[in-house]
Amino acid sequence: MGKRVLWLSIAAAITVISFILFLIWGLNLGIDFTGGSLLELKFLKERPTVSTLQDAVRELKLEGDFLVQPTGEQGALLRFQQTDEATHQKLVSQLQDKFGKDNLREERYESIGPSIGKELKTKAIYAIILALIAIVAYVAWAFRKVSWPVASWKYGLVAIIALIHDILLPIGVFAVLGKYWGIEIGLPFVAALLTILGYSVNDTIVVFDRVRENLGRLSKIEFADLVNRSVNETLARSLNTTITTLLALVAVAFLGGESVRYFAIALIIGIASGAYSSIFIASPLLIVWQEWKNK
């Protein structure tokens, strides 16, 4: 806690940069939010070049734009605006005729209308906002008997400030991935953000709970020293939990399928950020708030 200015400065810089990247580039929304169709293919022998696939799809004269994206060593993702089943079957049939039925296999097909996509985007925003409100209310209630030297509702507000850092970091990273690598986000990304919220606030509450316990036993020492001691007492638990979780997520990211890879990557970024925020953001902010109040 003696270097809290440094830790908070690093967190502030990361948060501001992530927010600026989001404002400049935004997120590359997938068909979950924009509507359209997604077709995942796997070539069993040899995958043709992207330009060859584009020419094959262009022959169908689909309405609107389409995107062909290679995945892994043998796969390809096709995104197009038309969502009817006839177009889907015609596209698969023509590609199999061109590249061979024994070479081409359909892995996945998803189709979402534009009105449903807009509704999903609105509900995703509401879900995140409601989760944040519920977290503040819960933390304030859990620490309702703590009124000195920091009021109970301030614990909830500090937790939310830490969560903003945890949410903006993966958003900033995926803004870059969407800009330069064309990575799209869908409902799995929203699920990852909600998971990060729950995981991070749980880690923060563990530290806060130790602060509450030490306030009853060590009330005569300085508040900064008390928070520092509380963080040190929970540090091993926080690191062990985070590392074991990250090991599982890294395995999913590298060994799992394409559909869960970026969900796992978002969780890796957010959970690592949550471990940092519970130790180096939430706890120092309690001290800063208490010092500001004294002044």
**pLDDT tens digit sequence for 130-170:** 888 888 788 778 777 776 777 777 888 888 899 999 999 99
> CB–CB of 182/68 below 8 Å?
no
Instruction: Give the domain ranges of the chain.
Output: 4-27+116-294, 36-112
- Contacts with 19 (C-beta within 8 Å, 6 or more apart), sequence order: 168, 172
114 confidence band (pLDDT: 50, 70, 90): low
Residue 65 pLDDT: 67
Residue 81 scores a pLDDT above 80: no
* Residue 155, pLDDT score: 84
Q: Average pLDDT, whole number, for the chain?
A: 86
Query: Within 13 Å of residue 91, how many CA atoms lie on the same side as its CB?
Result: 29
User: What per-residue confidence (pLDDT) applies to 85?
Assistant: 82
Whether the pLDDT of residue 116 is over 70: the answer is: no
148: CB partners within 8 A, 6+ apart: 215
Cα gap 14→51, rounded to integer Å: 38
Which DSSP helix (H) or strand (E) runs through 41? strand 36-43
The Cα–Cα gap between 15 and 165 comes to 5
Per-residue confidence (pLDDT) for residue 83, from 0 to 100: 66
How far apart, in Å, are the Cα atoms of 197 and each of 108, 170, 238? Answer: 30, 12, 16
Chain segment 14-67, per-residue pLDDT in tens:
999 999 999 999 998 877 777 788 888 889 888 888 888 888 888 877 766 677
In CATH terms, is domain 4-27+116-294 a member of 1.20.1640.10? yes
**Is there a contact between 154 and 289 (Cβ–Cβ < 8 Å)?**
yes
Asked if pLDDT for residue 123 goes beyond 90, the answer is no
Q: Residue 108 — very low, low, confident or very high, per pLDDT cuts 50/70/90?
A: confident
Paired tokens of 161 = 């400030």
At 82, is the pLDDT very low, low, confident or very high (cuts 50, 70, 90)?
low
Mean pLDDT of 91-95: 86
Contacts of 263 (CB under 8 A, 6+ apart): 188, 189, 191, 192
- Residue 144 has a pLDDT of 75
Same fold, 4-27+116-294 and 36-112: no
pLDDT of res. 174: 96
Fold observed for domain 36-112: Alpha-Beta Plaits (3.30.70)
Residue 117: per-residue pLDDT: 65
